[in-house]
Structure 1
Amino acid sequence: MIDCNHFVRGLEQAGIGLVTGVPDSLLRNICACITGTLPPERHIIATNEGAAVAMATGHYLATGRPSLVYMQNSGLGNAVNPLVSLADPLVYGIPMVLMIGWRGEVLSTGTQAKDEPQHRKQGLVTLAQLDTLGIPHAVADASTPDIAGVLAGLTADALARPGPVALVMRKDSFAPYAGKPASADHPWPSREDALRTLLGALPPASLIVATTGYASRELFELRRQLGQPHERDFLCVGGMGHASQIAAGIALAKPESLVVCVDGDGAMLMHMGALAISAGCSNLIHIVINNGSHESVGGQPTKAADLNLAKLARSLGYGFAHRAESLEALNALTQRALTCGTSAFVEVMCRTGARGNLGRPDRYPAEAKADFIAAIAKG
């Protein structure tokens, strides 16, 4: 397996200046090493992949040094616009190295590795996408003998083009990295307890759109534990950052229905400008679970740990926007949101952590979609 410290030394040897990107579960060990090794000004966790490409562009303009931009392959779509319209050799020619975690990878046998439904299509088309974009790429795995040499070669290629190149990482490429122990969590409620409280406060007919990650997984299991049907829940197993606009689309089309978006802090920050649209939906309650962490992909911090999201939501147009720091406050604020007569936003402060035996939804997305559509039709 690739030693994480050796990889970081390879970045230094290749002349990489800035490291930025969006965390990925396949890259959690190397991201932890980068966080623990590089000074804060040289490693920035971006709000979305396109923003990371833009940051790398600015860094090159200021220093003449290429950056490493990391992401999961599902985030490649967010990066396409700045890659093509800014960094491409036909435009400004900005050299950078993309490090892409290959979920749903295609094995050397030509078969696809087993993965979650949301990663199947993306895994099949990842290399073809890079080919279509004209981005030269190399694939690395645990047996890659000289990762420092690979990084040096890719960086030289990026400078020579000049433009983006990519390093596509297979699953389990990096050796485990023992980073610094996490600081003690704040005594806020767990995300799962917050979701349980929310389900108890909402009317049974509520339509719930839940964001990517642990929130959707916990919601699915809570429904099962409580003996409740799943038909009124739409779980965003992919499309991180877009739950609020799915909820807004439903709310606008069904003004007589109560629509609830269960969001995460990292997902909300990814496309925060969209909240100005959600804020115009008087039948929408937007619940954001803020634990200051990209928890499901390794626990990397988000900027939300230092922000008051409720104040931001109020400035973006929500008529009702408050923060809850306890289950009692969450229950009370949800009750108030139900009767406020305007768009509502509730920021729920939660600690990190999930059950070790937390499962994943076992219903195929097409089946869940059909049930959700039928539930909307029932009114």
Structure 2
Amino acid sequence: MKVESFVNNLGAEFFTGVPDSLLKPLCDYLMNTIGISKKHIIAANEGNCAALAAGYHMATGNVPVVYMQNSGIGNIINPAASLLHDKVYAIPCIFVVGWRGEPGTHDEPQHVYQGEVTLKLLEDMNIRTCVISENMTEVQMREIMEDFQIILAEGKSVAFVIQKGALTYDGKIRYQNDHTLYREEIIRHIVQVSGEDPIISTTGKASRELFEIREDNGQGHQYDFLTVGSMGHSSSIALGIALNRPKQKIWCIDGDGASLMHMGAMAVIGQNAPGNLVHVMINNGAHETVGGMPTAAGDLDFIQIARGCGYTYVVSAANLKELDVALKEAKVRNGLTYIEVKSAIGARQDLGRPTTTAVENKKRFMEQLTSADR
């Protein structure tokens, strides 16, 4: 189905969400037609979206649309159950959910279980669902929306679960910024300086690039924990490791979208202030792994935020010289360190994926951590 028809049949005037690769036709269409405005807001996380949508409904009386990958359902459970639900405030919302890990389709390991329980989670929250497939017609969509309008009028929410390839869009959009460093180059320099120190890398292409850099270097993968799912939590994982391995330098490779998703983690890190943790945040101002749509990080001063959260040493780098100086100082320093690296948007077209399983990654990483005691 063409995304234009899908959006027209929703009959909505306000959209908020967190981008998803399966929803790229919708995301690109919204960026081309509405952009970032009062009618379209890319939020920090999906719970943020649900609350924003609630505010919109109360201010206008209209029904909002919240779009997201199914991995974000966990972030909406609380507001969906305790804010939107018809037994609480009865605030209607249309959810548009990209179905990663749909049963019967091949997907990455972090999406498999989430895909299995997607429909059940929505149904358990009393959210009526409709699966949009490639074969869905505009007439069928219109009939479904007629039924959904009755449900929405009762203060209940509904969800369209989008299969891979179900939405199409012919428009083109290019996401870019003015920075010159690319993320893979930045990670390669981190690997050079960190040596055999443990690295915890964030969700998406950062972990894929780290894996391939190790392959290119002829190294094993025991030094790295690849946070292939659980977006926004790599820095908290790194904190848990750093506090319990105080004699080891721990590196966290984070991203701006992930940092925004659960930014409160930075306050907790600063409060605990492990002197052996180096938190490197690669900032390209984009949700690049799922298509390139902008985050709110482009105009955000992460340096001031890190200082305010209690990081001891804070620096921003925009070129390789600045980056190398910051990394080498962090390597020998005793003190909680935050390095923001300004990055361009883009990755190799032939970028591969990890060939080890998630459990294998965890096992080897843990073995390497404990080997430092011997």
Q: Which amino acid in structure 1 is aligned with residue 42 of structure 2?
A: I
Asked if 2 retains the 8 angstrom alpha-carbon contact of 1:208 and 1:261, the reply is: yes
Question: Aligned to 2:38, what secondary structure does the other structure show?
Answer: helix
Asked if 2 retains the 8 angstrom alpha-carbon contact of 1:87 and 1:94, the reply is: yes
Structure 2 counterpart of 1:298: 291
Q: How many residues align?
A: 368
Indicate the percent of aligned positions where both proteins have the same amino acid: 41
Asked if 2 retains the 8 angstrom alpha-carbon contact of 1:118 and 1:238, the reply is: yes
Deviation of 1:36 (Å): 1.1
Cα distance in 1 for residues equivalent to 2:126 and 2:141: 24
- Structure 1 counterpart of 2:312, from 309, 316, 319: 319
Question: Aligned to 1:245, what secondary structure does the other structure show?
Answer: helix
Q: Which amino acid in structure 1 is aligned with residue 245 of structure 2?
A: K
TM-superposition CA deviations, 1:35-70 (whole Å, max 9, x none): 111252101001000000000000001000111100
Matched, 1:143 2:135: yes
Q: Which amino acid in structure 1 is aligned with residue 182 of structure 2?
A: S
- Structure 1 counterpart of 2:327, from 309, 322, 334: 334
Asked if 2 retains the 8 angstrom alpha-carbon contact of 1:10 and 1:151, the reply is: no
Query: Please, what TM-score do these two structures have when normalized by structure 2?
Result: 0.95
Cα distance in 1 for residues equivalent to 2:185 and 2:43: 29
Asked if 1 retains the 8 angstrom alpha-carbon contact of 2:152 and 2:158, the reply is: no
> 1:250–1:282: structure 2 CA closer, same or farther, 3 Å change rule?
same
Structure 2 counterpart of 1:355: 348
Cα distance in 2 for residues equivalent to 1:78 and 1:199: 32
1:1-379 paired onto structure 2 within 5 Å = 2-11=1-10, 14=11, 16-38=12-34, 40-106=37-103, 112-146=104-138, 148-149=141-142, 152-153=145-146, 155-182=148-175, 185-202=177-194, 204-279=195-270, 280-379=273-372
Q: Which amino acid in structure 2 is aligned with residue 113 of structure 1?
A: T
The gaps in structure 1 that reach 5 residues or longer are: 107-111
> 1:35–1:344: structure 2 CA closer, same or farther, 3 Å change rule?
same
The gaps in structure 2 that reach 5 residues or longer are: none
TM-superposition CA deviations, 1:139-166 (whole Å, max 9, x none): 1111111265156336514423312211
Deviation of 1:327 (Å): 1.2
Cα distance in 1 for residues equivalent to 2:262 and 2:359: 26
Q: Which amino acid in structure 1 is aligned with residue 327 of structure 2?
A: T
Q: Supply the RMSD in Å over aligned alpha carbons.
A: 1.4
TM-superposition CA deviations, 1:103-123 (whole Å, max 9, x none): 1113xxxxx211110111011
Deviation of 1:30 (Å): 1.0
